[in-house]
Chain A
């Protein structure tokens, strides 16, 4: 598909705005519609679009599989870590009040980190699934 100039150039133009929009949805979730799940999917769609247009090899060069799997696990660890830190600071698991100087500041920090953890896990699961499906096809095709 990398022979088609319209697809190639449109992908190059759209790639950064899609990720920017994903980050906006991620960090603006406190004030408007959005949050980790939606943002994760939007960011993943940028990488998947790149991999569809330029091929899986180029996609894996842009976003290597080992980083992908590392970030996939890091999202869950970040979420759980916030809970454990709030426990170490003397409150209950996942109660963010103690994380900041005031109650509201603590809640803001906690929600931001937790949503970022959700976004990391969701986006990387989607990218990993796409890589796995496409990879499976090519290795399956060899055996036929």
Chain B
């Protein structure tokens, strides 16, 4: 119990440090790398909560591929973020109030992993028994994801597909229109 507390305190203090460093950093590449590090620590946090599948996704998607895609995309951005000094008292008050409300509410949450908490009473026993008897797969997360919630995963796949197609369409069209503008300019210059 006390070791778990120490691990959590360690991870939370790293996350806090990364958050403060993110606030301070004005260079875009540092921001991307710090976000990646934050995802990695979040993945460790999910492991301490015994959510290995989520941790795996966070590590591979959050810390891995999204960093690469961000790095590929920041080539179009200015290297430094502009300094914007405005009055930050109001946002700070909102953050503090919201944070303290959330911490206050967290005292009402059931203990993590408690078998009698409401979320483990409703449909979860059916999934746990069904995953063994009806589906025959040891990993309950996979049986929920692919079989019980097959529709949702289908939707997710289609969302990933649509998002990919949309970005491709925008970038391809932009390339073409850039060429068009270029050729038009040439025509204007030559004419």
List chain A positions with a Cβ less than 8 A from chain B.
25, 29-35, 37-38, 41-42, 44-45, 48, 52, 72-73, 75-76, 79-80, 83, 93-94, 96, 103-104, 107-108, 110-111, 114-115, 117-118, 121-122, 124-126, 128-130, 132-137, 139-140, 143
Q: Given A125-B160, A130-B69, A136-B175, A103 and B134 touching (CB < 8 A)?
A: yes
List chain B positions with a Cβ less than 8 A from chain A.
52-53, 55-57, 60-61, 64-65, 68-69, 72-73, 75-76, 134-139, 141-143, 145-147, 150-151, 153-154, 156-158, 160-161, 163-165, 167-168, 171-172, 174-175, 178-179, 181-182
Chain A interface mostly helix, strand, loop or mixed?
helix
Chain B interface mostly helix, strand, loop or mixed?
helix
Residues in B whose Cβ lies below 8 Å from that of A34: 53, 56
A112, B69: Cα distance in complex, Å? 28
Would B167 and A129 count as touching, CB distance under 8 A? yes
8 A-B residue pairings within 8 Å (CB atoms) = A25-B56, A30-B137, A31-B139, A41-B61, A45-B65, A94-B150, A122-B160, A133-B69
What's the least CB distance linking B189 to chain A, in Å? 14
Would B154 and A111 count as touching, CB distance under 8 A? no
Option from B52, B57, B175 in Cβ contact (under 8 Å) with A37: B57
What's the least CB distance linking B35 to chain A, in Å? 16
